[in-house]
Chain A
Amino acid sequence: MSRNTRNSSDQQLPGSVRLHALAFMLGFGCLLLIGWVAFPALLYKNTPQPLSFNHRLHTKIADDGCNSCHFFRKDGRFSGIPGIETCRACHTKVETGGDSETQLIRDYIAKTVEIPWQVYARQPDSVFFSHAAHVRSAELGCETCHGDIGQSAVSRHYEENVMTGYSRDMEESMKMDDCANCHEETKQDGASAQTDRDGCFICHK
């Protein structure tokens, strides 16, 4: 009897292992899905931009390319996102008849209302970033930080982290570690917290 029982147990063990393995894999797979698919979907809120902006078209047509709208002021400050007056300088009336242009003139230029752009690269309030130091002095191209946005034909949706309020673009390529890595690689001594004792206050005012 005892022998039979022992034999029976020996035969059942592989089944139990299989069950445990199945449960393990199920849990493993579920959490992978949750972690990689559901969590990001829940974490980021997708918002369309108020207008779809065609960078590729504008950089071809505008006299001074990127600098026509994103320029340095006389005192070295960067203009950033252009205001409605910059748009008005070219768009006095509908020329292409496109939806975005019509909307631009009707809803914003005619009413002199600023376009509520969602800024992909907006840094947190605690950060001071100098475009002049990076573009003029270090001669970095826009795409180093902003990617190939200059070649985009439509405006992507803005993805906002619902916990932090930061944009996904900023989180993925413009966090403090990204700054620090670049500064270390390029040996910018004295220009970041990682390389200089008093470096905190260069970026954090």
Chain B
Amino acid sequence: MGLGASAGLTLTPLPWKLLDDISIWTQNWPWVPVPKAGVVSIHDSICTLCPGGCGITARRIDERLVFVAGQENHPLNAGGICPLGLSGPQLLYTPNRVMSPMMKVDGAFQPISWNAAISTLVSHLKELKQQQLPQGLACLAGSGQGTVSALLQRFLTAFGSPNFIPSASIDDAWELLTGQLTGSRFIPGYDLERADTILSFGCDLTEGWGSPIRTMRACSGWKENGAKLVQIQSRLSDTAATADRWIAINPGTEADLALAICRTVAETARGQSHISAIDSGFRHQLQAIIKPGPSLEQAEGITGVDAQVIQQLADDFVGSKRPLALCREGADRSPVASREMLAVLALNAVAGNIDRPGGLHRIKRVPYINWPEIRRDDVAGSGWPGENLAGPLPSPDAFFKTIAEEPDSPVGILLVSDCNPCYDLAASDRIKRGIGKIPLVVSFSEYWNETALAANLILPNHSYLERYQDFPVYAGLTEPRLGLSRPVSKQLFDTRYTGDAILETARQLWGTAGRAFPWKTYEECLKETLSDQWDDLKGRGWINLPRPPITSDNAATISYSVFSNADIETSAGEVHKYPLMILTRSSMRLNNSAVGTSPFMMKSVSDTVLKGKKGVVDVNPQTAEKLNMTEGDMARLITPEAEAAVMIHLDDGTMPDTVVISQGLGHAAFGEYLDGRGVNASRLLQPVLDPLTGQNISRTVRARLMPV
């Protein structure tokens, strides 16, 4: 019978079907989440996670956002997207979002209602007013651009405080410098696509420079078109590895090399003719920049680059049809030393490529926020702004220096919007101590970042995928744009526009008499501000900004004494005590901004950057041998500011006596994927304020490595 049953069984589909279904069943465990099926729709917006302003397309199933990709027909990124942009859904749904207003009570956060949160802020503001201390209110903003930033600044002005301190971008620094240099403020727009000889002074072109995807596409174009990229950098970065030529240079001496090339070019007949074609005011200043520049021999001693190589670079540059020199940017497009910026600008000028195809275009910022000026009587009983606590060239670093110097904080209420100073400012441990001195810190962060954790009150903003946001994009473009991010996801949590929180606070402070804030909602404010551009922006997501002409014959005086300071970026650490120099490295896989790095990106970080929870630093084998260290050893990395435990990775592409450390790690927030992983490079740095821009330009610091 058994035999018959077996024979019968083989002639039925039962065993084969059962086998097949069991295999499918094992692929469909009930505990594996499967997204609900629904109607697919796609929605375009722009990404506001970095200043690049790429177009994004979100895919939704019914109301649920499931995917973010690059927008195919966007002129900047044409479908391309970086790992951070691709992480949109993780950044939207992360449990690390602040899901409702929170207030710290006895050291622990508790959710509160929006009414209670705004009332708390208003009562503290009224207290400041009663004490006749309106300047006791300060605000740190992620940028000085856009309507939210403008609303915050307006709120402070109305309150009577001058202490609005935006984090300056390199564009802000360019405006300041070019205003002083030429009498006309402009931002360089680099015509990357048409250049044929590119001198990159330490720019991480493939790791997020300018508008990252546009830059990467231009790099690919250079390979196809036969354009030549020369990378001048102290370490063998990814950009250096893919360049046509890599010039290894002593750290922090890029400006000297640029000035030496400038001087060499200026001495040629071609260089002379280019200089004579420049507007008179600019020409005068230009000659003053170039003149104190080092000779070839001096430059060889400073930069470590052979004089013949510098001569050859100058000949190739001036001899090419469309030369272009590119200036480095700090993390998240923060400024670098003004000396370096001006040297690169001068190099482009002597090469005769200003406003030429393939050259450096002078782009003027176009103001589009045209609100009426606040009058003193607009807000009853307000004081009037005096001098900024952070000095005439305000920067977050200068602000915290002032806070640290005073025994009691001169600031009673600090508003923090769209930035994370407790993590990304140099000497971040000091910043944390400084913020601890301020009685009320109000964060508008949508994420539990380090500064939100240090705050007393959190009024969470919507995520960038849930909100409208005006977003001017310059980022080295020759055609600047105004973008508008639009909500592509429904609102998930009890969050509010920062703009709405400000308007509600203004209403509760000044009632309907607050004529400085006539809008009922932030969306109304935005729509009114963008007026006849609103429909275009809402439909397409971006518009080209006009290019007003540049005139530069009214140059103001600029102090050139800074140019003699060859080692401006080196901090005060003594060379014999700290024989090594730390260089920071940015990566597209690690995000340094207030948003943090996504879990998806963390999975792509190499184990030569992060090994488990240990931060890895690159050291030249010769240096390691001198220190009696080898691959995988743990060491103490000590700077005059702080120390950290690091793992040694031997790398021939790292210059002897330097230590390369990645930015974007070592968080003390953001949950299990980021918290406690690696070392925060900012912790080790010391702030160095640029004498012309007032911004922190510290990227390096002297250090020593000690065995554990």
Contacts and interface: CB of A to CB of B under 8 A. Distances in A.
Contact of A164 (B2, B12, B24, B34): B24
Interface stretch (A25-33, A48-56, A133-141, A178-186): A25-33
Contacts of A32: 8, 11-12
B8 A166 contact: no
A24 B28 contact: no
A77 interface: yes
A140 B13 CA distance: 30
Contacts of A164: 21, 24-25, 28
11 contacts: A27-B1, A27-B4, A27-B5, A27-B8, A28-B4, A32-B8, A35-B9, A35-B12, A39-B13, A39-B17, A124-B28
A26 B1 contact: yes
B14 interface: yes
B627 interface: no
Given A32-B8, A163-B25, A164-B24, A27 B3 contact: yes
A35 B1 contact: no
Given A35-B11, A36-B12, A125-B34, A24 B4 contact: yes
Given A25-B4, A35-B14, 15 more contacts: A24-B1, A24-B4, A27-B2, A30-B8, A31-B8, A31-B14, A32-B8, A32-B12, A34-B12, A36-B12, A36-B13, A39-B12, A75-B42, A164-B21, A164-B24
A132 interface: no
Contacts, number: 73
A83 B6 CA distance: 50
Contact of B4 (A23, A35, A83): A23
Interface in A141-193: 161, 163-166
B12 A166 contact: no
Contacts of A77: 40
A125 B8 CA distance: 36
A166 B27 CA distance: 12
B8 to A, nearest CB: 3
Contact of A26 (B4, B17, B22, B40): B4
Interface residues on A, range: 20 to 34
Contacts of A30: 5, 8
A124 B4 CA distance: 37
B548 interface: no
A43 B11 contact: no
Contacts of A106: none
A122 interface: yes
Nearest to B34: A125
Contacts of B572: none
A126 B12 CA distance: 29
Interface in B24-51: 24-25, 27-28, 34-35, 37, 39-40, 42
Contact of A31 (B12, B21, B40): B12
B708 interface: no
A38 B17 CA distance: 13
B5 to A, nearest CB: 4
Given A39-B17, A77-B40, A125-B35, A24 B24 contact: no
A24 B7 contact: yes
B375 to A, nearest CB: 50
A20 to B, nearest CB: 9
Interface of B: 1-9, 11-14, 17-18, 21-22, 24-25, 27-28, 34-35, 37, 39-40, 42
Given A27-B2, A164-B25, A83 B11 contact: no
Interface string A1-41: 00000000000000000000001111111111011100100
A32 to B, nearest CB: 5
A34 B12 CA distance: 8
A11 to B, nearest CB: 24
Contacts of B42: 75
A77 B41 CA distance: 9
Nearest to A166: B24
B8 A165 contact: no
A43 B1 contact: no
A35 to B, nearest CB: 2
Contacts of A43: 17, 21
A200 B34 CA distance: 20
Contacts of A31: 4-9, 12, 14
Contacts of A35: 8-9, 11-14
A24 B1 CA distance: 4
Contacts of B28: 124, 164-165
A119 to B, nearest CB: 8
A122 B5 contact: no
A77 B38 CA distance: 13
Interface string A60-97: 00000000000000010100100100000000000000
B17 A28 contact: no
Contacts of A75: 42
Given A27-B2, A34-B12, A75-B42, A163 B7 contact: no
A83 B39 contact: yes
Contacts of B35: 125
Contacts of B13: 35-36, 39
Contact of A28 (B5, B27, B39): B5
Given A24-B3, A27-B1, A27-B3, A161 B8 contact: no
A153 to B, nearest CB: 27
Contacts of B11: 32, 35
A19 to B, nearest CB: 10
Interface string A118-130: 0000101110000
Contacts of B9: 31, 35
B14 A28 contact: no
A161 B21 contact: yes
A29 B25 contact: no
A24 B21 CA distance: 28
User: Which 4 A-B pairs give the minimum distances between C-beta atoms?
Assistant: A35-B12, A27-B4, A31-B8, A24-B4
Nearest to B5: A27
A137 to B, nearest CB: 19
Contacts of A25: 4
B7 A28 contact: yes
A83 B22 CA distance: 34
Contacts of B17: 39, 43
A75 B42 CA distance: 9
Contacts of B34: 125
A124 B37 CA distance: 10
**Residue of B1, B4, B34 ringed by the most chain A CB atoms within 10 A:** B4
A23 B1 contact: yes
A83 B40 CA distance: 12
A30 B5 CA distance: 7
Contacts of A124: 28
A3 to B, nearest CB: 34
B60 to A, nearest CB: 12
Contacts of B1: 23-24, 26-27
Nearest to A119: B37
Nearest to B21: A163
A90 B3 CA distance: 62
Contacts of B24: 163-164, 166
